[in-house]
Chains A and B, each alone.
Chain A
Amino acid sequence: MTATQISDLELRVWRGDASGGEYVAYRVPAREGMVVLDAVLWVQANLASDLAVRWNCKAAKCGSCSAEVDGFPRLMCKTPIAEYGSTVSVRPMKTFPVIKDLVTDVSWNYVVNKEIPPFTPSEKDSTSSEPWRMQQKDVERSTEFRKCIECFLCQDICHVLRDHSSKGAFYGPRFMIRIASLEMHPKDILDRRPLLKGKAGAGYCNITKCCTEVCPEHIKITDNAIIPLKERMDDVYFDPFRALTRLFRRGGRPF
């Protein structure tokens, strides 16, 4: 390879498992254009063969190599080491239980995904023999959300999941955009608002927009998915006019 070595890098990697662990420092010869994943894989091939890390495409398309680089959720394959000084630290995502080193147990996400009712077209559409017609501007409403590569960095940064471990109460940003992609599909007819209000816990999101900040696909999770979903939900469950009529009818509490 023609790459020139620029200097040595100190890569501090969190090593351990569910019972605990610590940072271990490795000296890595830094090359021009190197990303954090390159450095981790160099350590794996040369210094620590059992260093556990998930990765696949190395091109920011599969969302496997999520970790916290200097404490911030990033895709390691997309994070140039040049953005850091001579020392950089890598630790596993905090929101999910550690399996080993940088590998975490993300299976909860798959359980949640299965709970969301899938794409459901109308009876007429699903039985018609004609190819569907949709306009570009209509499909574009959901395509932004369909860019999601399921890196789960948004789930990692979301304080509801991260600091309050409320995995039973809130599906997290990833699945808000999953629901949004279905709700905004021009041919989907299912109403997922009861799910949003109930099990998905959309009300837990208090719009800090951290998820949008970490999204490697630059999906405007909060602005384009969660807020519109909250509005749709409020149309049904928090309609002020209906609340007032209910108040007068029963003398109960408006909300």
Chain B
Amino acid sequence: MSSAGYETVETDVLVLGAGGAGLRGAIAAAEAGAKVLVVCKSLLGKAHTVMAEGGVAAAMHNVAYQDTWEVHFADTMKGGKLLNDWRTAELHARESPERVLELERWGAVFDRTWQGRIHQRPFGAHTYPRLAHIGDRTGLELLRTLQDRAVHTKGIDVHMEVTAFRLFKTEEQIAGALAYRRADGSLILYRCAALLLGTGGAGKMYRVTSNSWESTGDGTALAYEAGAQLRDMEMVQFHPTGMVWPAGVRGILVTEGVRGEGGVLRNKEGERFMERYDHERMELSSRDIVARAINSEVAAGRGGPHGGVFLDITHRKPEYIKSKLPSMYEQFLKLAKVDITRQPMEVAPTIHYIMGGVRVDAETGASSVRGLFAAGEVAAGLHGANRLGGNSLSDLLVFGRRAGEAAAAFASSSGPRPTARLDPREIDDSVAALMAPVSRPTGENPYVLQAEIQDTMSKHAPIVRDASGLQAGLEAILEIRDRAQACGTGGSRSLAFNPGWHTALDLHSMLVNAEALLRCALARKESRGAHARSDYPKPDDAMGEVNFMVEKTPDGMAVRAEKRPPMPDYLAELVQHAYARYTPEERE
């Protein structure tokens, strides 16, 4: 056993996470003059951002000249069923074109129009073709560009394969974090004047997910434990199209780009069923509607042999498919032995994104704890009850930059001095908690507990929920939480790259996210966006005016409803105008 000493590292701005939001934030903070340290769980360049396929949404009107930020704003609000923070959505729609062009100036390469401008493809619930893209690997392009920019920006240092375990405050503001190196289990105490969370999502709490092992909701849990408010935690997005077969690849994403390029959905009877769910927009309806439609078709016995429906793009020319959707072509050919230029793909919904997260200020990404900032998937507000495809990559760029700048400004003006005293007892307790699983290796197996969390959430918080299921889920999660407090590593005392130990430490984050999700889902007694309840199948106007906030109290996790401030007239008019053009069922 180690004596559990730790190394101390100081920086101005500590960034947790090296996906799009973390790197864009780091670049912004460094350009503002701060000394920045980026800490990431995996190797640099492997973050979940690389999985984003379809594109980045920005009203640049290169393909449809009518497109404006106003239409993008209204699309985002309607997609989110007006649960969004309207100021966040406004900033996002206004600033994303500038952020995309900036990325191009940093070396990103996008597909072009015949005039040589950035090409934009149509996507679900976007009124106009709006997604700047490069084939179907836009996320990789974005991340690689930011990665190269960051490593060549003065003042940015990166610690790879290091996981943050707890945040520390001094005089009620963030002052540091305790973390461990995955390779050898050694500990680092980071001291910082401001901290930016860019830790991504929490999809790993479900069994069938498009997310990687990393997406355990660390940022939300760290912020919650530090006293920050979370919001909209009931809102998780099922991406309508994940692979279903073979079992090993179940959940892997099939990009919405397939539908953007003209792919159609059919049930086993060959019927193009979206006609019955959204006559106007068909396959390019918003993701919540398409996911529920697929779910209903399969539940009604009209699904395929592996419990999915069929996504068909074979009417396009093989060469077109291979150039516009190269990685989908490769993925199906290699993993499922399906040639998508000749055969349909079988698909079903998969957990993809969490709209909820840390409650942040629209302008700065500041959380309710001083010195703690968040951007990207870990932050909440932009997407409301449902995220539109392409809006997460623009989210990363717009709010990564804003939060990075704000964190740097906070660090230089009001952050604690490096000499600020951290409570040594708090540090010792945290070190002890971090090392605990290795001291009782034969305690309950963390992989078993992780699988139980996933099964519980998949069973009790599925696409369509109800009170008794959610309540049973909550009880199960609380019971797992108690057991997790005494869990081991699966048998090994080793500190060197011990995934059993790492899994044991991730459980806590998953449990905080799961509990918050279930509690908020119980509180939202209506169906809205991604949150559908069979016992309350309709939207409720009063519920539509509030967001649920989660906070840590001495009595445990508390959820309360908070009324949103009304939209100013100029924004309300945009939304009204947009609704007037569509069918009424879209309000649901």
Contact = CB atoms under 8 A, between A and B. Distances in A.
A2 B252 CA distance: 17
B116 A50 contact: no
Nearest to A59: B252
A250 B144 CA distance: 48
Interface stretch (B101-109, B387-395, B475-483): B101-109
A25 interface: no
A123 B128 CA distance: 34
B245 interface: yes
B490 A35 contact: no
Interface in B81-115: 101, 104-107, 109-112, 114-115
Most A CB within 10 A of own CB, among B101, B247, B306: B247
Contact of A131 (B101, B160, B214, B501): B101
Interface in B121-162: 134-135, 137, 140-141, 144, 148-149, 151-152, 160
Contacts of B557: none
Given A56-B48, A119-B106, A185-B107, A49 B446 contact: yes
B355 to A, nearest CB: 21
Contacts of B140: 61, 146-147, 149
B561 interface: no
Contacts of B186: none
B468 interface: no
A119 B148 contact: yes
A58 to B, nearest CB: 7
B567 interface: no
**Chief secondary structure at chain A's binding surface:** loop
8 contacts: A3-B246, A38-B248, A57-B50, A57-B51, A113-B148, A118-B107, A131-B117, A146-B134
Interface stretch (A97-105, A202-210, A222-230, A237-245): A97-105
A7 B333 CA distance: 24
B10 interface: no
B404 to A, nearest CB: 19
Interface in A68-97: 78, 80
Given A56-B48, A59-B252, A139-B109, A49 B491 contact: yes
A26 interface: no
Contact of B330 (A60, A110, A134): A60
Interface stretch (B39-47, B289-297, B339-347, B406-414): B39-47
A81 B135 CA distance: 29
Contacts of B214: 56
Contact of A50 (B107, B151, B494): B494
A185 B494 contact: no
Contacts of A55: 212-213
Contacts of B43: 54, 64, 106
Contacts of A131: 60, 101, 104, 117-118
B327 interface: yes
B500 A50 contact: yes
A241 B358 CA distance: 66
Interface of A: 1-3, 17, 31-35, 38, 44-46, 49-64, 78, 80, 99-101, 103, 106-107, 110, 113-114, 118-119, 121, 125-126, 131-136, 139, 142-143, 146-147, 149-150, 182, 185, 188, 218
A59 B51 contact: yes
A118 B152 CA distance: 7
A107 B101 CA distance: 31
Contacts of A132: 104-105
A101 B445 CA distance: 21
Contacts of B137: 61, 147
Given A61-B51, A118-B152, A49 B249 contact: no
A83 to B, nearest CB: 11
Contacts, number: 175
B485 interface: no
B471 interface: no
Contacts of A118: 107, 148-149, 152
Contacts of A49: 445-447, 489-492, 498-500, 503
B248 A101 contact: no
Contacts of B151: 110, 113-114
B550 interface: no
A105 to B, nearest CB: 8
A101 B497 contact: yes
Interface in B449-507: 451, 489-492, 494, 496-501, 503
B447 to A, nearest CB: 4
B549 interface: no
A249 B375 CA distance: 64
A115 B351 CA distance: 39
A113 B114 CA distance: 34
B109 A142 contact: yes
B510 interface: no
Nearest to A114: B151
Contacts of B119: 136
B4 interface: no
Given A56-B46, A56-B214, A58-B212, A45 B496 contact: no
B420 interface: no
B207 to A, nearest CB: 9
Contacts of B501: 50
A43 to B, nearest CB: 11
A29 B49 CA distance: 33
Given A50-B490, A61-B327, A118-B148, A2 B247 contact: yes
B374 interface: no
B219 to A, nearest CB: 17
A79 B140 CA distance: 22
Interface in B313-339: 326-327, 330-331, 334-336
B532 interface: no
B144 A146 contact: yes
A63 B144 CA distance: 13
A56 B249 CA distance: 13
A154 to B, nearest CB: 15
Contacts of B112: 134-136, 139
A119 B305 CA distance: 49
A99 B42 CA distance: 15
A78 B48 CA distance: 18
A44 B499 contact: yes
Given A45-B447, A150-B45, A34 B248 contact: yes
Contacts of A51: 499
B247 A33 contact: yes
Contact of B447 (A44, A119, A136): A44
B253 interface: yes
Interface in B259-282: none
Nearest to B208: A1
A209 B249 CA distance: 31
Given A2-B306, A51-B499, A63 B246 contact: no
